[in-house]
Amino acid sequence: MSAGRVQRAFYRVRQFVGALAAALRPLTAAEEALARRHLPLAAWPLFDAMARADQRHSLRVLAALQARGQTQPALLQAALLHDCAKTAGGVRLWQRAAKVLLAAVWPAYLARLAAGPAPAGSWRAGLWAHLHHPARGAELAAAAGCDPLAVALIRRHETPADSGAPEADPLLRALQAADDDA
């Protein structure tokens, strides 16, 4: 395994430990108000239903984007909802950890696990939902009335930036960089 992969795996482990700590604290009124300010009213339940760790992560992504001068409303919606389908898909903590570790050390096996939808109730169902959360999150955001550009950014947030609509690529790169940093 390359040094870059090892470094990335350690970063993800630190991120995982941070998520565990974040899950213990409820959102403050100010954090909740900040999220509400950037989401359509019908999209609030998507954010509100997210696991606390995902909410905090999304708020860190939002803050990172704002710190870099980003103000585009669709981008800020995408920051808050890019992981909304993880909770809806029943992704468990161990499946999140398994995905990160397998991506770092055994990506071919992870690709096999991602093939075909996993049967409901199987141990693979949450892992499959985690691997496919960008598409499902985009569907949920669209149904909740989010900006079509936010929907596109959510759908592509784990896809290389240069593989789609060029007009969205700078925003997608900004979302991905903030997501990686948060």
Is pTM beyond 0.85? Reply is no
Q: Output the pLDDT for position 55.
A: 95
Total tally of structural domains belonging to the chain = 1
Question: What does pLDDT average to over the chain?
Answer: 86
Reduce the DSSP state of residue 175 to 3 states and report it: helix
The DSSP-derived string for 67-111 is HTT---HHHHHHHHHTTHHHHHTT--HHHHHHHHHHHHH-HHHHH
Q: Measuring CA to CA, how many Å separate 4 from each of 9, 18, 29, 45, 63?
A: 9, 21, 39, 38, 26
The secondary structure of residue 42, as a DSSP letter, is: G
Question: Counting Cβ atoms within 10 Å, is residue 12 exposed (0-12), middle (13-18) or buried (19+)?
Answer: middle
Domain that holds residue 42: 3-181
pLDDT tens track for 74-109: 999 999 999 999 887 777 777 777 787 888 888 888
Q: What are the structure tokens assigned to 42, written together? A: 């019908």
Q: What are the structure tokens assigned to 16, written together? A: 């995982």
